Amino acid sequence: MQLFDLSGKVALVTGSTRGIGEAIARRLAEHGAKVVVSSRKPEACARVASEINAAHGEGAAVPIPANINDKAQLQALVADARAALGRIDVLVCNAAINPYFGPSMGIPDDAFDKILGANLRSAHWLCQMVLPEMAARKDGVIIIVSSIAGIKGTPLLATYGLSKAADLQLARNIAVEYGPDNVRANCIAPGLVKTDFARALWENPEIEKQTALTNPLKRLGVPDDIAGAAVFLASRAGAWMTGQTLVIDGGTTVA
């Protein structure tokens, strides 16, 4: 078996119609996995799935839209993924939100609840839904896309960072509980990546330049800088890694 071969695997990737999630879905398919493309917008799911199928053959990707804040929609997502592709071998919890940018003491209650709900509770729900089949099969992979905001203190992203720190612990707990069933759970913690989600932090060229200068590689990340880590964690190459957090940030956290 080639270390990075994902042939025969089925991966469900949330938030996979743009940015990091889209890059992960495309790269998992490139390495042989069948991919469930999911986000809130049906037309966006259809577009990305169609492009993956054009590149890797019909059936390489299936579009299934869902709102991560709606438990019934997530249950339908999992059920429809199984109906379409038979099983779920790899769950990538990537979808996240951040409706508030400012000091922690100023966040409204509804924004706090939305952030924790979308970024933590939805991942918890999805893990609850797929872990039983993985444990029964004695094979499965959970990948949660966290952030270096969950590792560092931040003056403007405190609640977002809180949700992302909790994701790290969610992966650790799953690793301990389900390790005996050969289920692995890990996080990826990106630094600032040039995506629509993070546009407010980089779209001004001067701000981008100043931010890039804070890391040793002197540039911001792009989605493919993160996607390869998901391929590693999903494949035989990552078979002895669990409960860990891969920090991919151009060296920001060590500078």
Domains, the chain, in order of start with CATH, read 10-246 (3.40.50.720)
- Clarify whether 160 is annotated catalytic: yes
Q: Which of 100, 160, 178, 202 is catalytic?
A: 160
pLDDT of residue 76: 98
Q: Looking at residue 186, what DSSP letter applies? A: E
Under 8 Å between Cβ of 119 and 96: yes
Under 8 Å between Cβ of 189 and 249: yes
Residue in 100, 93, 62, 90 with CA at minimum distance from that of residue 200: 100
pTM to 2 decimal places? 0.95
Strands 61-63 and 90-93: unpaired
Per-residue pLDDT for the chain (255 aa), expressed as one digit of tens each? 699 999 999 999 999 999 999 999 999 999 999 999 999 999 999 999 999 999 999 999 999 999 999 999 999 999 999 999 999 999 999 999 999 989 999 999 999 999 999 999 999 999 999 999 999 999 999 999 999 999 999 898 999 999 999 999 999 999 999 999 999 999 999 999 988 766 666 566 777 777 788 899 999 999 999 999 999 999 999 999 999 999 999 999 998
Q: Looking at residue 201, what DSSP letter applies? A: G
Report how far residue 198's alpha carbon sits from residue 30's, in angstroms, rounded to the nearest whole number.
26
Residue-wise pLDDT for 7-50, tens only, equals 999 999 999 999 999 999 999 999 999 999 999 999 999 999 99
